[in-house]
Protein backbone atom coordinates (compact mmCIF):
# COMPACT_ATOMS: atom_id res chain seq x y z
CA UNK A 1 0.00 0.00 0.00
CA UNK A 2 1.28 3.44 -0.96
CA UNK A 3 -0.24 6.44 0.84
CA UNK A 4 -0.20 10.10 -0.09
CA UNK A 5 -0.81 12.34 2.90
CA UNK A 6 -1.43 16.07 2.82
CA UNK A 7 -2.25 18.72 5.38
CA UNK A 8 -2.02 22.49 5.57
CA UNK A 9 -0.70 22.25 9.15
CA UNK A 10 3.06 21.69 9.48
CA UNK A 11 2.73 20.04 12.90
CA UNK A 12 0.26 17.53 11.47
CA UNK A 13 2.72 16.82 8.65
CA UNK A 14 5.55 16.21 11.13
CA UNK A 15 3.37 13.80 13.08
CA UNK A 16 2.34 12.01 9.87
CA UNK A 17 6.00 11.58 8.92
CA UNK A 18 6.86 10.17 12.34
CA UNK A 19 3.90 7.79 12.25
CA UNK A 20 4.75 6.61 8.74
CA UNK A 21 8.35 5.94 9.79
CA UNK A 22 7.32 4.21 13.00
CA UNK A 23 4.94 1.92 11.10
CA UNK A 24 7.22 1.35 8.08
CA UNK A 25 4.50 2.79 5.84
CA UNK A 26 5.22 3.80 2.27
CA UNK A 27 4.00 7.39 2.21
CA UNK A 28 4.48 10.59 0.29
CA UNK A 29 3.76 13.45 2.69
CA UNK A 30 3.55 17.12 1.75
CA UNK A 31 1.82 20.40 2.52
CA UNK A 32 -1.36 21.23 0.64
CA UNK A 33 -4.57 23.10 1.34
CA UNK A 34 -7.07 20.38 0.53
CA UNK A 35 -6.30 19.36 -3.08
CA UNK A 36 -4.29 22.44 -4.23
CA UNK A 37 -0.92 20.67 -4.55
CA UNK A 38 -2.26 17.16 -5.16
CA UNK A 39 -1.72 15.40 -8.48
CA UNK A 40 -2.88 12.01 -9.64
CA UNK A 41 -5.76 9.68 -8.93
CA UNK A 42 -6.41 7.53 -5.90
CA UNK A 43 -8.40 4.43 -4.99
CA UNK A 44 -9.44 5.94 -1.70
CA UNK A 45 -9.47 9.48 -0.31
CA UNK A 46 -9.74 9.82 3.47
CA UNK A 47 -10.28 13.20 5.09
CA UNK A 48 -10.45 14.22 8.73
CA UNK A 49 -11.12 17.95 8.49
CA UNK A 50 -10.75 20.20 11.52
CA UNK A 51 -13.83 20.16 13.75
CA UNK A 52 -14.59 23.77 12.91
CA UNK A 53 -13.80 23.53 9.19
CA UNK A 54 -17.30 24.59 8.24
CA UNK A 55 -19.74 23.34 5.65
CA UNK A 56 -18.06 25.13 2.73
CA UNK A 57 -14.71 23.39 3.33
CA UNK A 58 -16.28 19.97 3.85
CA UNK A 59 -18.41 20.35 0.73
CA UNK A 60 -15.32 21.36 -1.26
CA UNK A 61 -13.53 18.21 -0.11
CA UNK A 62 -16.52 16.15 -1.25
CA UNK A 63 -17.07 17.93 -4.58
CA UNK A 64 -13.43 17.90 -5.66
CA UNK A 65 -12.79 14.32 -4.58
CA UNK A 66 -14.30 13.06 -7.83
CA UNK A 67 -11.44 14.77 -9.72
CA UNK A 68 -8.90 12.70 -7.77
CA UNK A 69 -10.61 9.33 -7.43
CA UNK A 70 -10.03 6.40 -9.74
CA UNK A 71 -13.14 4.92 -11.33
CA UNK A 72 -14.78 2.95 -8.54
CA UNK A 73 -12.76 4.80 -5.90
CA UNK A 74 -14.34 6.07 -2.72
CA UNK A 75 -14.24 8.89 -0.21
CA UNK A 76 -14.32 8.63 3.58
CA UNK A 77 -14.74 11.72 5.74
CA UNK A 78 -14.57 11.79 9.53
CA UNK A 79 -17.15 14.26 10.84
CA UNK A 80 -19.09 14.36 14.08
CA UNK A 81 -22.87 14.46 13.79
CA UNK A 82 -23.04 17.76 15.69
CA UNK A 83 -20.37 19.24 13.39
CA UNK A 84 -22.34 18.72 10.18
CA UNK A 85 -22.33 15.01 9.37
CA UNK A 86 -25.95 15.00 8.10
CA UNK A 87 -25.19 17.85 5.67
CA UNK A 88 -21.99 16.13 4.50
CA UNK A 89 -23.83 12.84 3.99
CA UNK A 90 -26.46 14.60 1.89
CA UNK A 91 -23.75 16.29 -0.19
CA UNK A 92 -21.96 12.97 -0.73
CA UNK A 93 -25.20 11.42 -1.97
CA UNK A 94 -25.62 14.32 -4.43
CA UNK A 95 -22.08 13.98 -5.79
Q: Which burial class, exposed, middle or buried, applies to 45 when counting CB atoms under 10 A from its CB (0-12, 13-18, 19+)?
A: buried
pLDDT, tens digit, for every residue of 31-44? 999 999 999 999 99
pLDDT, tens digit, for every residue of 36-94? 999 999 999 999 998 788 899 999 999 999 999 999 999 999 998 888 889 999 999 99
Q: List, as one string, the DSSP characters of the chain.
A: -EEEEEES-HHHHHHHHHHHHHTT-EEEEEE-STTTT--S-EEEEEE---TT--HHHHHHHHHHHTTTEEEEEEEEE---GGGTHHHHHHHHHH-
- pTM across the whole model: 0.87
Domain-by-domain residue ranges, the chain? 1-31, 42-95
Amino acid sequence: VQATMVDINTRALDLARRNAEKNNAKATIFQSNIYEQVEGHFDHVISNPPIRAGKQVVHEIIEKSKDFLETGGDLTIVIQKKQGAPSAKSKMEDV
